[in-house]
Structure 1
């Protein structure tokens, strides 16, 4: 016990080291200390801020997740205010200055991340703290709106540019596959004494031709959905809360349907290409054509994978307060 008390006294005397670790986001170090000395969560610096206040200021999600493991004291920690009467929710509402190094692709997703953090902290604090004013006379929501005005404008610009460019691609695909529907591979049957077959596709009984028809229909349908999604983004109000779920979900649907339209357009082209060249003894031309046609699809998938993963992760998996961290709860 004596050694334990000596270490505790040392930590209180050198508390600046703890707050520096919180500022840098040293989750493993602080997590171990809190496991050994749970009272560290109540230790404050000269500005009356705990390590969790500092963690939320510097957007260190991993460190702030420790709040979920404090047990009954987490409401108490969340109720602490600093010397400027800023609650934990006020600090979540402030946009960090200097601006943090963004780990998400695009200002709109950064805005979504800021909203996600704010809403997660809002769920943590008591309802009475949501309308609490700081020394500047601002509630957390008012502070969030003020400090994130620039980021909101950047997010709108990024979202509009992305939607415009993708909508152009989707429109081109829709035009191509629409025209392909009336350009039947292999042509149509002439009269030839059989009026029942007149005007019907030459390869109508071929499995490859059926693949061409289905993929062309799917390409036209998916590209049309993609156009509608991107058009919906361009005509949105771009309200603050729309960046949290509405706009990202529309962007995901638009990108996924655009990917499907590209893939099915490539399949329609390959099937048409095969019908045109299947009379050759060598299959090298259809095989090479298939390989090179799928290269654009691969490039598109690799370039957009990170964006789709980030949007899906931020929109549908709220990882700010997980329960799998090995930190001992207080009894």
Structure 2
């Protein structure tokens, strides 16, 4: 643990040193009398920072060179469009905060991103994000959710009429989004249904075993039909575990049936399906953990009542599958947490932001 903190401290020190070095370089270039040198310096640096979503670098460059926000990339996109194209969420958060707008005006004169095809900014925002960004999210449904989040934010910051405006191909922004994300939508739907089908078997087996355990309790029953270990704390733990495990598995079973039978639409991936998947996976994890706990309690009742040291051994054996479950499926929970962080963070704050009109001017 100490080694981890030392490594983290070194990383933070390196980042501070890098920012200090950038400040020194910017100060030297700004003090130069050659105006072309500063423009040549910050253009590629700014574009690369946008591609990498390096908000610290962008903020530093804009502080020293406010005109850096007037750059145009190789595709002819301005600063705001480049931020959106590269899904640079950290830099976008700076724009929301007004940190960048304090230094320069980012408003655009033209309402069209592509004059040849009549695309407005919402058509532009409807395009599929860069693969290098999407590949960072391992689950296709969460990729689809992230793309929907960006598109919904874009709808909030543009004039109302742009939502139904058609380009030269007679396509509205919604039509462009559906076309661009058709393959991702199919992949996400198939992924969810495949996972649901597979895990449904596991949930059904857990429910079956738990119901059987209610009837055939460890230690058997006495002449009155009561369990022999009814007064033992381990038996109470066993009963509580099998009850909650069966309930948790039933939740996942219901979620799976809903996913398999319900016709999936793109809007479902914004909240309904990701939430259902998280609830399902959490319930499955809880069910599996409680199942192992009930198994350990039953073994302790049968073999360990006179040997307390067995309790430690059983606890280790019960914890092992749970730890392995967390290890092998940590990628899913990581994607889920990141997705909901975006949902509850600056992707939703725009609905309540007092700077909504400012943001609209920035991206228009």
Normalized against structure 1, the TM-score is what?
A: 0.83
Select which of 203, 207, 213 maps to 1:174. Answer: 207
Instruction: Decide which moves more: 78-87 or 100-109.
Output: 78-87
Q: Decide which of 42, 58, 63 is 1:30's aligned counterpart.
A: 58
2:352 matches 1:318: no
Please give the residue correspondences for 1:123-272 in structure 2 after superposition, counting only pairs within 5 Å: 123-190=156-223, 198-272=224-298
Q: Where does residue 325 of structure 2 map in the other structure?
A: 300
Give, in whole Å, the separation in 1 of the partners of 2:257 and 2:303: 39
Q: TM-score if structure 2 supplies the norm length?
A: 0.76
1:326 corresponds to = none
Per-residue Cα deviation, 1:15-50 (whole angstroms, up to 9, x for no partner) = 752445534544333222222343433444575521
Across the aligned residues of Structure 1 and Structure 2, the Cα RMSD in angstroms comes to: 3.1
For 2:112, the equivalent position in structure 1 comes to: 81
SS at match of 2:281: helix
Give per-residue Cα distances to partners, 1:118-162, cap 9 Å, x unaligned.
112222222232223334332221111111101110111111111
CA distance in 2, matches of 1:164, 1:284: 41
Assess if the C-alpha contact under 8 Å between 2:139 and 2:335 holds in 1.
no
Name the CA shift for 1:36/1:15 in 2 (closer, same or farther; >3 Å).
closer
8 Å contact kept, 2:137–2:143: yes
Equivalent in the alignment of 1:91: 124
Distance 1:263 1:97 in 2: 39
Deviation at 1:245, TM superposition (A): 0.6
Contact conserved, 2:220 with 2:228, CA < 8 A, in 1?
Answer: yes
CA separation in 2, counterparts of 1:126 and 1:203? 70
Match of 1:193? none
Residue 287 of structure 1 is matched in structure 2 by 312
CA distance in 2, matches of 1:116, 1:71: 23
For residues 124 and 6 of structure 1, the distance between their equivalents in structure 2, rounded to whole angstroms, comes to 40
* Equivalent-residue separation in structure 1 for 2:150 and 2:320 (angstroms): 39
Partner secondary structure for residue 294 of structure 1: helix
The 3 A distance-change label for structure 1 pair 96 and 310 is: closer
Q: Deviations over 1:229-269 (max 9, x none)?
A: 11111112110000111111111111111111111111111
- Please say if residues 125 and 151 of structure 2, whose CA atoms lie closer than 8 Å, have aligned partners that are also in contact: yes
Three-state SS of the structure 2 residue aligned to 1:35 is helix
Q: 1:41 aligns with which of 69, 75, 82?
A: 69
> 1:48, 1:5 → 2: CA distance?
28
Work out whether residues 56 and 92 of structure 1, in 8 Å CA contact, stay in contact via their aligned partners in 2.
Answer: yes
Residue number in structure 2 paired with 1:62 = 90
On the 8 A contact 1:78/1:125 being kept in 2, the answer is no
The answer to whether the Cα contact below 8 Å between 2:164 and 2:172 also exists between their aligned partners in 1 is: yes
Are residues 116 and 124 of structure 1, via their aligned partners in 2, closer, same or farther at CA, if it must alter by over 3 Å?
Answer: same
